[in-house]
Structures are given as structure tokens and as C-alpha cells.
Amino acid sequence: MALMKERVHVAPLGYELDRIVEPLEELKADEFILIIQKEEKLGKDHQKNVEGWLKEHDVEYRIEEAELLDLVDCISVFGRIVHRLKDEGHDVYVNISSSTSISAVAASFAATLWDAEPYYARPEYVVHEHEREPGEPMSRGLKDVIPIQKLHFERPDEELLRILQYIDREGRGRDNTVRNRDVIDFLDREGYLDVGEGVRNRSQSLNKKFRERYRKKLEEKWGFVYLEGETRARKIGLTEKGKQYLRMFEYLV
């Protein structure tokens, strides 16, 4: 938990300065996290403008990076940041309106998943194309800050994530699969498959518990893994969907 609860705002960098910074003043932010495009050179002037305003108004801030046109990476970065801030006990506000549509989806999802407060910054005035000078933002001022309704999402299952992480790690360099037996041994060592003492066939009991508790969800419900081979030589690998899910939520494990 944080020593002092703060009002922390998170926003991706876009071209409309007022929609990024004016909500910080409106909602009395203590700290601000600006998410910028990885290895972006064209947006440096906009970043300097935001940082100049933050310094002038004495708002503590830090910079994070994401691929703002990559939904999976955005979900991972926004999720990791918001989850950590909420875990530290802060009040977290997420601006969904300051950058790309893709980042808006990711920001909304992360805020909803980890119980932060998403908001939309409505501009005071929209500058039409025939009025706009080269390099001028598409809007000016802040009319109001609109809270966004949060829907319910099921939070990721950390045990399933650990299995995906194990398969991904151990499968590298050897056809991207691992033996079904090795996954069971891993879960047994970690204490996830408690079959009790005195069972007649411990190996069979472990396999059954793995299949019923984890593998059916991963394969049949979510489509995160695929199986290949016969029973004794069966291997498990990650589907593309499983790889993307792990990439989005690996920060949890």
C-alpha cells in the first residue's frame, strides 16, 4: 500500500494538448503518467508541450512507453500500470480520449478490469480543417470531463496464466510444445494439484485433476492451448490466442 493515497492520472500521448492536461487541473491530479509511442520521433514536440505544462503547474509525472497502435501491447501496458497503482492504494483516473482509438479501447478495458475511473475529455471547441493551421491541434480547451460507465469483466485467472507461461517458456527451442506429463509435474511441485495422501494411483489422479481443473478450460473453453500426440506421448502448445492472452496479462505472474 502507498504511504499516502494520491489521485493519479494515466493518459496516452496525442496531438490535443488541452484534452491531456486540463483534466489534471479539473480533477486535481497529484501525479500523472504519460504513455508515449515506443521509438516515436514525430511526436516529440507534443510530448515537450505536455511536459512543459506539467512542470509549469508543478505536477509530478513519469513517462511510460507502449505501441499505441497495437491493441495487445496497449492492454498489457495500461493493465500493468493501473493494476500496480490500484495495488498501491491510489485513486486512479484514466483518460480514454487523448490518443488513438486503439489506446482508448485498452484504457477503458484496464480501468474497468482494475476498478479505476475512466473518463472522456470533451473539448470546448473543435477546430475545423479549413480553420486549422499546419500543426495546430484539432480542438481547444476543455468543456467538461465525462465519467465513463464501467462494465463487468472477469479478471484473469493467475493459475491459468502460470500454466501458459510455463508452456511458453519451456517450449521455446523445442517445437513450442511441452509434454503433458511435464506440465502436471510443474503444477504438482507448485502445489496446484492436491490429490491427497493414500491414493491408489497417484499419477492417474494427478492427470485427471489437471484435465478437469485446468486443461478443459484452457483447451475447450478458452482455446488457449492445443494438444498433439497420443495419451502417453501427448504434448501441449499455445495457440495464437493463448500467446496473445499471455502477452496481455503476463504482468500478473
What pTM did the predictor assign?
A: 0.81
Tens place of pLDDT per residue across the chain (253 aa):
556 889 999 999 988 888 899 999 999 999 999 999 988 765 688 899 999 999 999 999 999 999 999 999 999 999 999 999 999 999 999 999 988 889 999 999 999 999 999 999 887 766 555 555 555 555 556 777 777 776 667 789 999 999 999 999 999 877 889 999 999 999 989 989 876 666 677 788 888 889 999 999 999 999 999 999 877 788 999 999 999 999 999 999 9
Question: Do 180 and 137 lie in a common domain?
Answer: no
Question: Do 77 and 181 lie in a common domain?
Answer: no
SS3 140: strand
Q: How many domains does the chain have?
A: 2
In a domain, 153, yes or no: no
Of the three residues 92, 118, 147, the one that is the final residue of a domain is: 147
Of the three residues 122, 147, 172, the one that is the final residue of a domain is: 147
Question: Do 136 and 201 lie in a common domain?
Answer: no
Domain assignment of residue 83, given as a range: 7-147
Question: Do 182 and 87 lie in a common domain?
Answer: no
**What values do phi and psi take at 170, rounded to 5?**
-75, -20
Question: Do 183 and 85 lie in a common domain?
Answer: no
**Encoded amino acid at 81, one letter:** I
Contact between 147 and 119 under an 8 Å Cβ cutoff? The reply is: yes
Question: Do 68 and 172 lie in a common domain?
Answer: no
Placement of cell 504482468 in the chain: 251
SS3 67: coil
Question: Do 134 and 12 lie in a common domain?
Answer: yes
Q: From CA 72, how far away is CA 103, in angstroms rounded?
A: 10
Question: Do 128 and 27 lie in a common domain?
Answer: yes
In a domain, 218, yes or no: yes
CB neighbourhood size of 105 (10 A): 15
Question: Do 71 and 191 lie in a common domain?
Answer: no
161-219 pLDDT, tens digit each: 999 999 999 998 778 899 999 999 999 899 898 766 666 777 888 888 899 999 999 99
Question: Do 179 and 130 lie in a common domain?
Answer: no
Domain CATH code at residue 31: 3.40.50.10770
Question: Do 170 and 205 lie in a common domain?
Answer: yes
Give the residue among 80, 150, 76, 82 at the shortest CA–CA distance from 114: 82
In a domain, 125, yes or no: yes
